[in-house]
Amino acid sequence: IISKAIFKINPVAEFSYNEENIDTIQWHNGTPPIPKEQILAKIPEVELDMALANLRQKRNKLLADTDYLALADNTLSEPMKSYRQQLRDITEGLSTVEQVNSVKFPVKP
């Protein structure tokens, strides 16, 4: 998580550290040091990004499982259209890890 927080601040940062101790960060090749407080402040954003990525991965699998029903030679039923739309909309308005973790997936018709 620390690495992802650093890359959110500076996508081209070069550094190394002991993952058990943020205080061991060593900056390489002229990368300007980022204050520990700034890195720690980015962690909630990284955690939200990770939670949303996990949610999207699950959602995408559920959509893929019904993609064959949406081919040109098929007509989707209204319940299936609604289900697929609910899946596509599932990440809207989520701004905290708690909200992401409390998402309930719609039931496949």
pLDDT in tens, the chain (109 residues): 999 999 999 999 999 999 889 999 999 999 999 999 999 999 999 999 999 999 999 999 999 999 888 887 778 889 999 999 999 999 999 999 999 999 999 999 9
Q: What is the pLDDT of residue 24?
A: 95
pTM, two decimals, is 0.84
Q: For residue 109, what are the contacts with CB-CB under 8 A and spacing of at least 6?
A: 77, 79, 80, 82, 83
Identify the pLDDT of residue 107.
Answer: 95
Can you give the pLDDT at residue 75?
82
